[in-house]
Structure 1
């Protein structure tokens, strides 16, 4: 299995976010997250299994390109710059989320009360877990069924 590691100097993909996009609690507004995901789509990510805020200033994305390369990329939250890439040849799993499904899952989480995003994880068992914050700035964990992306549970911490 081929593995490639690349450390890239900040390179703006399409971004243009301000540092105000990241809240003090390390979460992102839906618009800021949408902009960064559009940058990831432009970079070639077509299927996702994890999206998370890393080190308070980066968005880490684990997923795949259509050509079978598994990607682990870090983007600066402030402007969408790609600062790290690791990839290896793999097969895109059926349980990963397409870009459209990812956006639908995030929209369903917003409908369930999430106002700010911090993490999304998809597993082989057919679950999508999304963590973030609600309107009262309390932590919220939302679980969705992978097949139709319906909300199956909401937990407030």
Structure 2
């Protein structure tokens, strides 16, 4: 009976981990590669990105001339799946590529190992969603100016 319970718990843990990955978590290396592809596409500033169904990288931001970009890239090869562009101006609260890297570094230090998304708002707050090493959901809030982690929520 003990072996059955152990096997059942192992199966449940593996199933939870697989569900978490299917929800959109990606490794830091995969996110870095997709951000590189987004910058090659023309992104200079970001306000949001997310991994959708584990196979699409959805990214929003601006290019250097201020045009608003909304692009979906394939996680497998970085190809453009969907793109939108409209005239706009880059807001001060958006994140440059280097600032996104700083935010992701802070999230990683706070325990996020698989990233699902990043969102920055006009009020100077950055929200990062992802999973820890055990594929438990984490949601972090950090200060836009200092990248200090202000709050960590563990979702069950």
Indicate the TM-score class for this superposition, using the shorter chain for normalisation.
0.7 to 0.9
Aligned to 1:151: 149
**Residue 45 (structure 1) aligns with:** 43
Aligned equivalent of 2:128, options 123, 127, 130: 130
Q: Which secondary structure state, in structure 2, belongs to the residue aligned with residue 52 of structure 1?
A: strand
Deviation of 1:83 after TM superposition, in Å, equals 1.2
1:57-136 maps to which residues of 2 (within 5 A)?
A: 57-136=55-134
Structure 2: distance between partners of 1:111 and 1:55: 25
Note the C-alpha offset of 1:24. Answer: 3.2
Q: Deviations over 1:25-45 (max 9, x none)?
A: 421000011111111111110
- TM-score normalized by structure 2? 0.84
Q: Look up the match of 1:32.
A: 30
Q: Which moved more, 1:49-58 or 1:76-85?
A: 49-58
Structure number with higher helix proportion: 2
Deviation at 1:150, TM superposition (A): 1.1
1:142 aligns with 2:140: yes
Deviations 1:12-63 (CA, angstroms, capped at 9, x unpaired): xxxxxxxxxx933421000011111111111110100000123442110000
Paired residues, what number? 136
| Structure 2 gap ranges (5+) | 1-19
SS of 2:37 mapped into structure 1 = helix
What is the TM-score when the length of structure 1 is the normalising length? Answer: 0.83
The question of whether the paired residues in 1 share the 8 Å contact of 2:132 and 2:138 is answered with: yes
Tell me, yes or no, if the aligned pair for 2:118 and 2:126 is still in contact at 8 Å: yes
Structure 1 residue runs without a partner (length 5+): 1-21
3-state SS of paired residue (1:42): helix
Considering only aligned residues, what root-mean-square deviation do their CA atoms show, in Å? 1.3
Is the partner of 1:153 in helix, strand or coil? strand
Query: Secondary structure in 1 aligned to 2:21?
Result: coil
- In structure 2, distance between residues paired with 1:112 and 1:102: 15
